[in-house]
Amino acid sequence: MPFDLLKSDATSIAQAVRDGSVSAETVVSETIKRMAATEPKVGAFLQQDAEGALAQARAIDAARKQGKPVGRLAGVPIAIKDNIHVEGRPTTCASRILDGFIAPYDATVTTRLRAEGAVIVGKTNLDEFAMGSSCENSALKQTRNPWDVTRVPGGSSGGSAAAVAARSALVSLGTDTGGSIRLPGSFCGVVGMKPSYGRVSRYGAIAFASSLDQIGPLSVSVRDSALTLSIMAGRDDHDATSSKRAAPDYVAELAKANIKGLRVGYVPAYFDQCPDKEVAKTCKLGLERLRNLGATLVEVNLPNADHGIEVYYVVASAEASSNLSRFDGVRYGMRADKGNAIANYFATRGAGFGTEVKRRIMLGTYALSAGAYDEYYGRASKVRTLIVNDFVRAFGGCDLIVGPTVPFTAFKAGEKSDPLSMYLCDIYTIPASLAGLCALSLPAGFSKAGLPIGLHLQAPPYAETTLFAAAQALERDLGLDRLAPIA
């Protein structure tokens, strides 16, 4: 079987490597060539590791020739968002404050992917400390959208989404706190999946907001997403928030999935009040296609979801202010030498953190202060509970909820210069994060300008099997060609 990187997904490549149809070295060599062709235009990677990737690939080929098992992701080129540890490689979080820091160990997800033969080709760009919706907040470089390099890839996992869209990786890992996998998935026309809170270990990922953060895959296809999650999911003693609930084999479940009779909920306002009518129309068509495939459409109400933005930016900022206090210039990363500890601390954080990170630290610190705690963090936590309860009631009458991922397509770099307009990018994705749901952005079509549009599928906690079943059925029905037109 001829090998074509641009027409393959991770599942088919791994199968070809396992049965000897193609060597892992060939796959990785072609990926490195693709990176060389696309990176000058896209800039998805902060670090590339061609030498290490080829060494991994050759080891896989040698093991296969010796009759040894080579894993479910054998030879698949994978990129890792640069807030997730890969031992011996820098972890920058796209921030100057971590200058010179080298990860001393692998994140649990990195370990699990390596064990199944995944080949790590590099680490991808992001908004600094995962705080942003466009990937423009990176202190280190600008990543462009492979569909139109004048536009942003979305954030914060913009580099990871752009790498998959450009096919300089077949799968990438991102983190999602309020939409940071799903939003760039929508903008870049790839599958972006946020697992349920606790489904995947966060050990080895730099914390932003600990009650919200989740690691998840960005991929070419739904089955690749299911395969990657099957490998990453499950209890990890290094992470007390990881669930003890056994993770199913999502790939096996997907093979026998049937969505006839599935109850699909929708909120009419998400379509009727969407500011981009092309997005609304495309997502409505996706909803109708699900009905044509045998699903039943059910109108649902999420009355408190409108408060998601306000709640999120209090809760997430408060947790960020606490988590980021560890970056003090004493133990690792950059250090400003001003002669005494207090001066060093202020100078290091002042020079090391970017504007958006400072904004959220200050907001979060104020929300946790003695005089403001009840008014801000305490009240936000109560409204968060109301949002959770809204979803519990809604899922009493449906199996998943579908709507647009983002209210618009990818915007021009520099177009959204004020924080509020940027924050509103996540208006549809944040409620699922606050409620700990699993959610997925599926490419559903294109605007007249040729920009991808994502459909947002949300399911109850630990109902990833349902999510994948609906997403794959719709993916097959749509039959979209999702190769970005770069190079």
Q: Which residues are catalytic?
A: 81, 156, 180
The rounded Cα 476 to chain-centroid distance in angstroms is 22
Total Cβ atoms within 10 A of residue 48 = 18
Q: State how far the Cα of 89 lies from the Cα of 105, in Å rounded to an integer.
A: 9
Q: Which residue is associated with the tokens 């045998």?
A: 294
Task: Name, in order, each residue with C-beta under 8 angstroms of 329's C-beta and a sequence gap of 6 or more.
Answer: 97, 335, 336, 344, 345, 347, 348, 349, 352
CA-to-CA separations, 384 to 194, 302, 312, 430, in angstroms, rounded:
19, 12, 8, 11
Residue 458's H or E segment, with its range, is strand 452-459
**Whether 437 contacts 420, CB under 8 Å:** no
**Which among 154, 240, 161, 234 has a CA at the least distance from the CA of 195?**
234
**Which among 352, 356, 378, 359 has a CA at the least distance from the CA of 367?**
378
Residue type, 340: N
Q: State how far the Cα of 443 lies from the Cα of 230, in Å rounded to an integer.
A: 21
Task: Name, in order, each residue with C-beta under 8 angstroms of 360's C-beta and a sequence gap of 6 or more.
Answer: 131, 313, 316, 317, 320, 321
Burial tier of 419 (Cβ tally within 10 Å: 0-12, 13-18, 19+): middle
**Whether 170 contacts 78, CB under 8 Å:** yes
Q: State how far the Cα of 142 lies from the Cα of 180, in Å rounded to an integer.
A: 16
Burial tier of 240 (Cβ tally within 10 Å: 0-12, 13-18, 19+): exposed
Task: Name, in order, each residue with C-beta under 8 angstroms of 18's C-beta and a sequence gap of 6 or more.
Answer: 64, 70, 74
**Whether 31 contacts 56, CB under 8 Å:** no
CB neighbour burial string for 139-171, b if at least 16 within 10 angstroms, e if fewer: bbeebbbbbbbebbbbbbbbbbbbbbbbbbbbb
Terminal-to-terminal C-alpha distance of the chain:
25
The token duo for 295 is: 């699903």
